[in-house]
Structure 1
């Protein structure tokens, strides 16, 4: 459905160290391939212009809420959760909720994808708080975000499940058949969308350690799956919209979780048959649209055991252990 090539066939590997992240590349050739190296991270070439435009033009508000994720760590689910949580007073009737007729990505704009096209800024609803999202690592965020007191919700996931989910997703949306082994080798070398994945996570983690006053919450996908009510209340407290005693008594917490559950969202007509399109986007992928169903594969944890060999497990475990050593962070 797309004229874009798969990431694995367009990256120059010659200057990369074995199992190591890429070096920073200040001069970026936007036309060189599917992924472009930009300040130590591999950015999808079609979104690079949006990344740079948002860095220069986006003006953060102190009341903004920014969902930060690497691809395939639960972005769709958390967009739904945050939208339902923040807007629950506006949509008290869940039978008429926007999530029933819209893909979560259509309700929570992404800075580098659908807000900045050809350096033109998409109009934002001036109402506060503005709920936004990005796949950019912390080091690449617009300066206005770093200088603001906006709240950052950072979500991360087991690297093995992240890789498997990303492999399935890219093969589906790009209509390619990149082998598991080939994709895994590049993931281990840091060459994944907005990767290296471990550097993406650590860029935000280190900021939270060095600047504890920074309004940031870390959420692990697996923990949210295991104890959703506990973590939904935690998110609500962080966003200064805690559940009232009346809401607790009415079961609002469980209502939101049910509305945003994988089973509910994946079985909605809009998500089974809809397409996520951005008219006039410079890439064929977004002009023609991505099947909504592509964003809903399993919604489970631990699926990686069905794909990884012992050698793959050992290799990635070694890389992760080496990269996070001494940081105090654990996946």
Structure 2
């Protein structure tokens, strides 16, 4: 049986629901006073006081999460910048923790590990997550500086997945084009200016990278490129970091290999639940198939001109200089002893 976070449909007492709505209403009033920026897709972004952009509902939810979510030492947080391999990592991590892939065929990865800010803390709800069994698997796109203080204080585990910003941008551009046409030149300008969902991209990555440098036993940084190049080794690395390493017997029996195979993007995209199913997001049901495209490393070459790619690379080199992150053919690679 899958074990995932309660979504926003949980019944509440009338007085509790009213109190929760008041919290959201007050924060909506606050967010409405914040600076805005055009998103390019027909809605304005709000600028969170910590310097990142998201639609108003996302900023409000992030503020509610910071105040009302208390992390525990046994929690596992997945964090990504949007379109950096979130769906894949959710499937892999859930299966590694549960030591099985039965749930993968029955549920979307976004149902197994919902987004805190767009599935759990939504619709004026402040769910009580305290009764959930350990480990609680929690997912967010929220930048590091805006997480609850308890995430750092509790010593919980945090897994961060990043990706070549060129592929990230192209995937994000394709995603938004499913909803309305978006000129790629304008989209690139905004991305490079840091005006994108949960962006700027580079500050998002650096925030979690610095946290990893300070507390490597608590924060693991993976790259999409490493995961694609050797999924099995990275899965074993992930399981070891979580304190659930695959035993020699499990490896001999192919438990980890079966997880890699079941969670491969090609397989996930063919499952009926991901072909025709839907998942509740914020205020409406979203088709699960929109979370799957090509997932190919280097696909940016099919969409960006050399000048466009150079612009992103120059920003990346400038932003990451002195951070300990290195650029190489597989993109980001931390200095490892």
CA apart distance, 1:153: 0.3
- Tell me which stretches of 4 or more aligned residues in structure 1 moved more than 4 Å: 30-33
What does residue 178 of structure 1 align with?
Answer: 182
Gaps of 5+ in 1: 1-26
Q: How far, CA to CA, are the matches of 2:251 and 2:266 in structure 1?
A: 23
Which of 228, 239, 242 is matched with 1:239 structurally? 242
What does residue 26 of structure 2 align with?
Answer: none
What does residue 87 of structure 2 align with?
Answer: 76
Contact 2:31/2:56 (<8 A) preserved: no
What does residue 16 of structure 1 align with?
Answer: none
2:333 equivalent to 1:328: no
Which of 143, 166, 173 is matched with 1:160 structurally? 166
Contact 1:47/1:113 (<8 A) preserved: yes
Map 1:119-158 onto structure 2 (within 5 A). Answer: 119-124=124-129, 126-158=132-164
Which of 223, 236, 239 is matched with 1:220 structurally? 223
Alignment length, in residue pairs?
Answer: 289
Q: How far, CA to CA, are the matches of 1:252 and 1:85 in structure 2?
A: 9
Q: What is the DSSP-based 3-state SS (H/G/I as helix, E as strand, rest coil) of the residue aligned with 1:117?
A: coil
CA apart distance, 1:30: 6.9
Q: What is the DSSP-based 3-state SS (H/G/I as helix, E as strand, rest coil) of the residue aligned with 1:67?
A: strand
CA RMSD of aligned residues (A): 1.6
Q: What is the DSSP-based 3-state SS (H/G/I as helix, E as strand, rest coil) of the residue aligned with 2:325?
A: coil
What does residue 109 of structure 2 align with?
Answer: 104
What does residue 4 of structure 1 align with?
Answer: none
Which of 165, 175, 180 is matched with 1:169 structurally? 175
Deviation by residue 1:151-171 (Cα, 9 ceiling, x = unmatched): 000100000000000001112
CA apart distance, 1:109: 2.1
Contact 1:30/1:36 (<8 A) preserved: no
Q: How far, CA to CA, are the matches of 1:181 and 1:61 in structure 2?
A: 43
Q: What is the DSSP-based 3-state SS (H/G/I as helix, E as strand, rest coil) of the residue aligned with 2:31?
A: coil
Which of 178, 192, 197 is matched with 2:196 structurally? 192
What does residue 206 of structure 1 align with?
Answer: 210
Q: What is the DSSP-based 3-state SS (H/G/I as helix, E as strand, rest coil) of the residue aligned with 2:133?
A: coil
What does residue 87 of structure 1 align with?
Answer: 98
CA apart distance, 1:244: 1.4
What does residue 45 of structure 1 align with?
Answer: 56
Q: How far, CA to CA, are the matches of 2:258 and 2:199 in structure 1?
A: 35
Contact 1:70/1:197 (<8 A) preserved: yes
Q: How far, CA to CA, are the matches of 2:292 and 2:33 in structure 1?
A: 30
Q: What is the DSSP-based 3-state SS (H/G/I as helix, E as strand, rest coil) of the residue aligned with 1:290?
A: strand
Deviation by residue 1:161-184 (Cα, 9 ceiling, x = unmatched): 000000011121xx2101111101
Contact 1:35/1:43 (<8 A) preserved: yes
CA apart distance, 1:46: 2.3
Q: How far, CA to CA, are the matches of 1:85 and 1:232 in structure 2?
A: 8
Q: How far, CA to CA, are the matches of 2:298 and 2:216 in structure 1?
A: 34
Contact 1:83/1:107 (<8 A) preserved: yes
Q: How far, CA to CA, are the matches of 1:291 and 1:229 in structure 2?
A: 29
Judge which range, 236-245 or 122-131, deviates more.
122-131
Gaps of 5+ in 2: 1-29, 37-42, 327-331, 333-337
What does residue 291 of structure 1 align with?
Answer: 287
Deviation by residue 1:45-97 (Cα, 9 ceiling, x = unmatched): 22111100000000101000000101000000000000000011xx4xx4xx1
